[in-house]
Every structure is written in C-alpha cells, then in structure tokens.
Structure 1
Amino acid sequence: MQMKPLRPHDPRALGDYELLGLLGEGGMGAVHLAQDRAGRNVAIKIIRPEFAAQAEFRGRFRSEVNRARQVPPFCTAAVLDADPDHETPYLVVEYIDGPDLAERVTRDGPLTDGALYSVAVGVATALVAIHGAGVIHRDLKPRNVLLAPGFPKVIDFGIARALESTSEHTRTDQMVGTLSYMAPERLDGGAVTPAVDVFAWGVLVAYAATGRTPFAADTPTATAVRILTAEPDLTGLPDDLREVVGRALAKDPAGRPSAQDVLDALITGRPGATPPHLPPRLPARPAAPAPARRRALVGLIAAGAVAAGVVAAGALVPALTAGDGSEATPPPSGNPATPAEVHIADSLTSAGQWRDTRTGDYSCELGQDGLAVVTGPGNDGVTCPGPATVLAGNQSIKVHYDELSDDACALVRFRHTGRAGYELTACADEIAVAAYPPSGDVHTISSAQLNDKHAARRRLVIDIADDIATVRLDGEKLLTAVLDDPALAKGMTTLGLVQLADGDDGFVRFSDVDIRATRG
C-alpha cells in the first residue's frame, strides 16, 4: 500500500502512536500509517471534525467500536484501540501491507485458481467472524479486502453503522455502502441484516473472477435497476463457484445462505454443493423483486435516480462509486462540503407558513385543530397557499392528516412549480405518487393499496433520498417511487385535497407539518 508524506495539518502523534504517513482518505476521515511505542506498525483512521462535533455520532462510534473489538481476527484486520472521546476521535487497526482486491484486479486482471478461491473462502470466513460478533459490515467491496500474505483480510467493518445510524444521516434514508455491492433491500428501504453482506460477497467474488460486477450497466441508475429486477450475469465464473454465488445473489434475503452456509459449501471441496442444513434452492425468478418494489420501479428509473443517497466506505459524499473498485473523491479534509439545512415546521393552527384562503370553489381554514381544506365535488386538485421556499435534493416531508371525507384524497404536492411537479394522494383505499411534468403528460409512478388496518393511520412521511422517494404511513413503508424527471428537480411543497365524486363536498384536516431539506 503506497504511503504519502504527512500534510501540514495532519497530527504528528495521537495517544501512544506516532504518525508516519498518509495511506488514504475517505469521506469519514483519513487513514495514516503509525507506530506504537513498541515499534509495531498500525493503521489509524482519524475521524473528520464535522463528525467529531456530533455527540450522537461519538456515542454510536463508541458503541460500534466496542462491538467490532469482539470480532475474532479470522481474515479480518484486528481492531486494536480507539479513543472516541479524543478531540479528533480515532480508530487503530492492524496494519496490513498488501494491495486491495480492486488494485490487484485492475493491475493483473481477474483472479484464477487458488487466488480466487482464497478470496472466496477468506472473505466468507471474515463474514462468519463479523456476523458472529453481532456486527454487519454494510460496505463489503474490493477496496475493503486487502490481499495480505496468506489469507485476505477484510477491513472497515464496525464503524459504518456509526455514520448510518445518526439521525442527521438517516433523515432522508441515506445509506452507507457502494451501489454495485448493495442488496436489493438496501435500495428500496428494507431491513439491513447479515444477508446484505452475503449479497455483497457474491458480487465481490464475481468481480474477482471476471473483473466486472454481475449487475454492471452503463449508468449507476441502470445498475440499480438491474440489482432490483435482473438476474446476475455470472458468465466467466467457474462452474463450481457459480451455484453458491448465484444463491448469495438472490433478490429475497430469505433465499440467501448465511455466511456460515457459504463457508460450509466452499470448504466441502465442491463449492457448488449444498450442505444438508442449507435451505433448498429457490427457483429462478426473472424480474424478481417483491411486489411493492416491482410496482415502484417498472419503467421509472432514469439518470441520477440513486446518486446522493449513497455514501461510500463510511464516507458521507454525494456521489456513487462506479462498482469497479474506484470511488468518488470526497471533499478535502478540513474543508467539508456541508450543505445548509432548511427546516419548515408549522402546527397549522394559526397564520404562519400557511394562510387562510376562501374562494367560491374551496377554502383553507386555519384553526385550533389544524388546517381544514374544503372543496366542491369533482375538483381535480386544490392546494392551499404555503411557504414559497423552493427545495431541491434530499428532503423529508412529514404531516398528519385526518377527517378525510368519503371519495376524497389528501394531497401533498412537492417539487412543485406552477402547474408542474410531483403529487402524493392518500385516498381511502389507495396511496399513490404521480408526476405532472410541464408537458402535461400526467402519470402515476407508484401506488399501494390501503385497507382497514390503515384507517386510523394518518402520520404521513415522504422521504426523498436523491430522487428515490419512500412513503410511510405511521412508520409502515408503503411504497417507493423514483423521481426521475430533470424538469421536476426542485420546487415548493403544498397541501391540498382532491374530490373524486360528483355531488359531495370534500374535506380533510392537516396538522403538524415538518419539512427538512439540505441544499448545497
């Protein structure tokens, strides 16, 4: 691993460690080569000041480091020391003098024979150790596999969750990880379990054997679509690895083997073999994402759909990695790109961001219970005047609605300018997101059915992570939608009502709206 000289702003010592040079830098911090008092070489990751200033991050960092120290050093870089309370928190790990897997494949081409199986078995062994300690890596990729003499070593486990779990970074569903190695459930807001690491293992082994990832496409968005809907391209993978890799890449996390099952299959000497306790192989399922995911994505994803919601290798950077081991360059240390936050909060009980409005066709009335919207029959969309703030990029919209009349739909318009934008309609039996672009070609992007169990659920949340919108009702995820029209990249947020049937007035009451966004 190539080392660069220390820079003027780099510390010369931390705790019991003397820093010798710079090994690399990412969005979370810089990694330095150092020596302890006994003269042993170690690697120190120094956390960026903007994260160090957050008490919540420090707490998470401390907790995750303690868990990572419980991981036995079987094909992992041992966690040796850490000081979460230092002015600049740092983590000390075993120094491994060797190239990473991405460097090796880029320089020498795909791995074959013993070298390939060493990576497959070594990384599976590391995952068994990591998962056994109750840790999920979350960012397994070639850059995080170092080819030390003997077996490979997996690095950078145990601190990704410290970044991902802090409220500042999860408010708009930002994720820690690298797109090409992300399991489908990570892209559509599913639960993060050890199965996401098994999926990444399958992608990594395919990359090591072929020099490309099995869902590779021309753009990040197209790659995301393939992960969610397509079968992996395992052309060029040795026959005796293809079975276990294919099963690791199952769309449904329940259909993937555990890391221990993967390791058992590999060490039988016939990596395609299935040990008795491995679950039966699921049938091939072309375009196999879960129904809600399928509804949300058919024909919808276009350029930029998943860009800034993903952060690389424990790094908070508004870019994707290419999937071939290369990564976007983060902001330079000491000069972070910190976007300003916009926060709009209104109880809707008195004049403020929203104002009373009364016309012959509809009314928006502020009162002690919130904003009451009343409209005549057949009105195709009434919105109440609200804040003129134009928002772009990641944002979270939360609002409570109730007293919805029959044949009416609560309406939330966002990225809305003039007669164009996106809108969410929450009706008695369905919730949907639609686009109405300047061209006038209105179309539904994604929808989900509601039933009696949703009748009393009225806290609506729309989280937008760089063009992927996730909609929840009282915490239950109902749908995702891709906001892919470049003409609708920014706009205002308004509240309103749609009345579906003739002959009756429509009514809905909104309260406690909270809108947060970052813009840089």
Structure 2
Amino acid sequence: MRPEPLRPSDPVRLGEYELVGRLGEGGMGTVFLATSPAGTQVAVKVVRADLAPDDEFRRRFRSEVARARQVPPFCTAEVLDADPDADHPYLVVEYVDGPTLQQVVDDKGPLTAANLHSVAIGVATALTAIHGAGVIHRDLKPRNVLLAPGTPKVIDFGIARAIEGAHTANTSPEFMMGTVAYMAPERFGDDEVPVTAAADVFAWGGIVTYAGTGHTPFGGDSAPSTAGRILTSQPDLSGLSGPLRDLVAAALSKDPADRPSARELLDRLVASNSRPAVSALEGQPDLRAAANQAQSVTGLMPHPAPAEPTVVVSAIPGMAEPVTDDVEDKRRWFLPVSIAALVLAVIAGTMMIVFGRPGQSPVASPGPGPSEPVAEVSSAPPAGPLLLADDLDKPRLWLAKTEPDGRSSCAFTDGELHVRIDAKPLYKCRGPQDQLPEDLGIEVGVRLLSDNACAAIWFHFKLPNGGHLVRVCRDNIFVGAHQSTNVSVSRTLPLDQPIEVGAEPTRIGLRVDGETVTVTRDGVPLGDAPLGAAEISGSRVLLGVFLDRDAPEAGAAEVAFDRIEVRGPSAR
C-alpha cells in the first residue's frame, strides 16, 4: 500500500513514533505510516478527534487494546504499542506492505483456486489465534485482509467494539454497505442476543465467497436489502465448488450454533486432499507454519451442547458458543423488526451500539455484620464453559493503575496482581467489560499481604446499582452486597484455618446459581449464602482490596491475586 504525503494539519510525531505518510482513513480515524525508534516501519492508527474527549471510549479502547496484544501473530498484524491516554489516542501495529483483498478482487477479479485456498486458510488461522485469546473481531471484511508476502494478514481485530460504541453519524453508505455484507444474522437483532466468535466465522464465509466469485453471498443493492437477504435468504455460492463450498455453506448458517468454530475451519482446510488446498500449503511454507502453530497453541475443543448458554466469546480456543432457548426464541421474532430498524439506521447515517458505563463507586466501609450460622452446604452446580481466564501476571484483562496521590494502586508484581490502599476503605482494579451471565462460577487465587486487608471480589457489578461482594479476610469470608456507600452482609462464613498473611495463595471459588452463591476454599465447600438485593442487575466481575476495620493494624492494606477463571452455567 503506497502512502500519501502528510497533510499540513497532520501531526509529525506521536510519542516515540515519527510519522512519514498517510495510509488511509476509516471508522476509527487516520492510519499513518511511521518509523519506530528502532528504525522499523509501523502503522499508527490515530483516533478521530470527536472520540478523543469521550472517557468511555478511552476506557473501552484501553481494555480492547490490552486484549488485542495477547493475540499471537499467526496471520495477524501484531499489535505493538498503544497510548489510550494521549491527547490523540493511538494504536501501533505491524506495518504490512501489501494490498487489501478488496483491492485485489476489485482490480483483478476473483482469485485462482490455489490463491483462494491460501486466503481461506490464512483468515481461518488468524481467527483461530484471535478467538483463542478471547477476542472477537466484529468487523472482518475484505478490507481488513492484507495480502502480504508469505501469508495473508488480518488487521483491525479487538478494537471494533470500541468503535461500534461511538457515534458514527458521519459513516458513509459505502462503509456501511461494506460492513453489512459480512455481518451475521444475529447482529441485526435484539441487543440482548450476544455477539460471539460465530459472527466472525460467518464473516469468513462471506470473505471466501467474495474472494472466489467477486460477489458477496447475499448481494443486495443497498444495506437494507443486503440485511434482508442475510436474515431470510440462502447464500448465493455460485462460483464455488467442492469441499470449500460445503465449508462456506456451513459457516454461513443462520444459527450460530450450526457454524463450525474457527479451529474447525482450519482443521478441515489443512486436512483437505483437494489439489488447491495442497498447492496452497506446499507453495507457501510460511502459511503452513502459521497454520500449524495456531493448531498447536490453541488445541481443539468441540462445540458444547445447544442448551448451554453464553454471553461472551469463550476463552476456550476456537469455541463459538450457542445461545440459550430464551435467546433462540427472541431470534425467531426479531427478523422483520431488524430489517426495519436497519433501514432507519441507514437513513440516519448511524449504526450505534449502546454500552453501559461502568466505573468506580465512592463508598465508605461499615464493618461486617454479625456472624450467622452457616447454612447446610448444597453441592454447587458443576462448572460450565470457560468464559474468561487471566493469569494476572501482567496487564491483560485486568490492568495496572496508580492514583495520582500514589496511595492506591493495582500493580503486577512477581507474577501476581497486587492491590494496595492507604487511608481508603477499598480499591477496585480495572477489569474486563464482558457481559457475563447471572449464573456463573469464579475461581481466583488470593493472598493477604497485611493483617488489615481483605481480598474483595465483586460480581453482578454495575453502576449506579453496585453489585454483590465477597470479602476474604483472615478469619472469615463475608458475603453480601455493595451499593453506593452501603455494604451489607447476608452471611458470614468462619474459616476453620485462618488465612495466614504472606502464605501461599488459597483458591477461592464462588458458584452463583439463582439466588444463592456457594463459596469454596481450595475446592472444599464452606457454605451457601443468599444473594438478595434484587435491584442489583449488573454483570461485571471486579477484584480489589477492602480494609478490615476489625484488625488492630493500621496503615496500608494490601492483597494479591493470581489466575482467575470465570465460567458460565453448566448444562442442566
């Protein structure tokens, strides 16, 4: 891609990067060619000026970038750096010197069979890596596939959600058309229908169809007509043949649960004995190596049973989760309404997804309530599919931060997330923004680093209504709710063996089932507690520290966390 000269109004430097040319513009902002301090060429994506003042956008941008940096560079443009807090927030990615798939097909027509299989394998490899890191692309299309020497490269993954959450009244019909043509049916429906990795698989089917035929699978001369065909018609796959056509047809299934995962796409493509597939892999050793690496790193997991619910992309590599029966009922009814809504969106020139605005809550900390007898411990429901996982050894899903006064912080030290407060009742660490189900399981390693500290785990959290709170202290675990400045206790679970300060981590487990949470320590049930507080309706999980006011020690309080796993409900 040949850069254009910088314009007089363009910056010439961002952080350590010297800007040398323009590569293009998109929904997020402007992409510049730049030189790094090491002298290598990189692509710097600068956020639009109208988005920069939006604190919510910056927060989401920061979170998405942290995730995108965990994606291994198998047929992806590697995320190298970012500064969400700059006056003009920017993202630095590997510079890929090659045309987009869109440009090649527009200029030269459909790809040859071997080149088509190269693209199919390369994009499937990229999605396997992206989904294996717990990321959903959300805007996969031919413009986001670069045909670089060696392997195709997928770009712009992991930041699409931050862009979707912003106003896009200046989005052109051409941009909308290019996006809509590759959107899965479930993306036009009720906001409560989750977007999962299966939506990216649908886009893969559209990309392969376009690359091999020169037309999109659902045609349409406008965004609304294209959306209508995606929702109600079978794809036009004329021009494709053999096993690849069958695989594309499966990827374009209306029901997300019927689509293969990205890993399954890759396995079937690599194992194919068709001449084009063999030629693609034999003629491109870098592509074969990337596909083999993606397979070896992610492993293969089957689809769960259709009854299992999910609301986020699974961190289990390659898995695209189905939806619940309740969501399935909603999906059957949203099609006509979705078409009408999309028409209005096109007329308005806006496609917007509205997100909640989570954040910090100013609170005071009353002491724990009186100890109550422990109820008979029920056996917790078995663990469901893995939704989130983080070793908490470096910024990933949870991020480091230090308050301006330096007296409260979340820091990664010696392979753990350390949370510290001084002269404050509590402190929370920035965590993922995923919409998690009401019934879920949480397991995390906890260490107390001072006598006056309790490790705090919030779930079902949302501002301004707060959330449920479990405080893990030296002698007791307190289960209750945290709303505004009020912390209530529904049950106190005494510990037979106190948690020694500075000792090895103890694994604390929470299994939420309906209105009850079962608490475990190192796999041993400690008791059940009622949730109550019906006005709590959030879905976030937060980690932090809480001051134990009953402890004689004063001063700073500190705890540490390691390896957190969040799982969904199991099949009944």
TM superposition score normalised by structure 1: 0.54
Does structure 1 retain, via aligned residues, the 8 Å contact 2:135–2:158? yes
2:137 is equivalent to residue 137 of structure 1: yes
1:111 corresponding residue in structure 2? 111
CA RMSD of aligned residues (A): 3.4
**Residue 257 and residue 9 in structure 1: after superposition, are their counterparts in 2 closer, same or farther (change >3 A)?**
same
Shift of 1:198: 0.3
Does structure 2 retain, via aligned residues, the 8 Å contact 1:24–1:30? yes
Paired with 2:140 and 2:127, the residues of 1 have a C-alpha distance of 9
2:179 corresponding residue in structure 1? 178
**Residue 221 and residue 19 in structure 1: after superposition, are their counterparts in 2 closer, same or farther (change >3 A)?**
same
**Residue 202 and residue 123 in structure 1: after superposition, are their counterparts in 2 closer, same or farther (change >3 A)?**
same
Paired with 1:253 and 1:295, the residues of 2 have a C-alpha distance of 19
1:261 corresponding residue in structure 2? 264
Does structure 1 retain, via aligned residues, the 8 Å contact 2:250–2:258? yes
Paired with 2:16 and 2:272, the residues of 1 have a C-alpha distance of 45
5 Å matches for 1:43-442? Answer: 43-165=43-165, 178-189=179-190, 190-270=193-273, 290-294=331-335, 296=337, 306=346, 308-310=349-351
Shift of 1:305: 6.2
Shift of 1:35: 0.5
Shift of 1:27: 2.9
Paired with 1:87 and 1:277, the residues of 2 have a C-alpha distance of 45
Paired with 1:198 and 1:138, the residues of 2 have a C-alpha distance of 10
**Cα shift readout 1:336-366 (whole Å, capped 9, x = no counterpart):** xxxxxxxxxxxxxxxxxxxxxxxxxxxxxxx
Paired with 1:49 and 1:251, the residues of 2 have a C-alpha distance of 38
> Could you list the runs of 5+ residues in structure 1 that have no partner in the other structure?
281-287, 313-473, 476-520
1:370 corresponding residue in structure 2? none
Paired with 2:86 and 2:58, the residues of 1 have a C-alpha distance of 10
Partner SS for 2:51: helix
1:499 corresponding residue in structure 2? none
Amino acid paired to 1:125: T
Does structure 2 retain, via aligned residues, the 8 Å contact 1:18–1:36? yes
Paired with 1:238 and 1:108, the residues of 2 have a C-alpha distance of 21
Paired with 1:139 and 1:223, the residues of 2 have a C-alpha distance of 16
**Residue 88 and residue 277 in structure 1: after superposition, are their counterparts in 2 closer, same or farther (change >3 A)?**
closer
Shift of 1:128: 0.6
Does structure 1 retain, via aligned residues, the 8 Å contact 2:198–2:259? yes
Shift of 1:265: 1.1
Does structure 1 retain, via aligned residues, the 8 Å contact 2:19–2:32? yes
Does structure 2 retain, via aligned residues, the 8 Å contact 1:221–1:305? no
Amino acid paired to 1:180: A
**Residue 303 and residue 89 in structure 1: after superposition, are their counterparts in 2 closer, same or farther (change >3 A)?**
closer
Paired with 2:62 and 2:301, the residues of 1 have a C-alpha distance of 40
1:13 corresponding residue in structure 2? 13
Paired with 1:294 and 1:5, the residues of 2 have a C-alpha distance of 46
**Residue 180 and residue 311 in structure 1: after superposition, are their counterparts in 2 closer, same or farther (change >3 A)?**
farther
Paired with 2:336 and 2:81, the residues of 1 have a C-alpha distance of 47
Does structure 1 retain, via aligned residues, the 8 Å contact 2:231–2:254? yes
| Identity of matched residues, % | 58
Paired with 1:98 and 1:265, the residues of 2 have a C-alpha distance of 27
Paired with 2:164 and 2:184, the residues of 1 have a C-alpha distance of 16
Shift of 1:278: 7.3
5 Å matches for 1:32-51? Answer: 32-51=32-51
Does structure 1 retain, via aligned residues, the 8 Å contact 2:189–2:331? no
Does structure 1 retain, via aligned residues, the 8 Å contact 2:189–2:338? no
Partner SS for 2:50: helix
Aligned residues: 303
**Residue 29 and residue 301 in structure 1: after superposition, are their counterparts in 2 closer, same or farther (change >3 A)?**
closer
**Residue 135 and residue 188 in structure 1: after superposition, are their counterparts in 2 closer, same or farther (change >3 A)?**
same
Shift of 1:2: 1.9
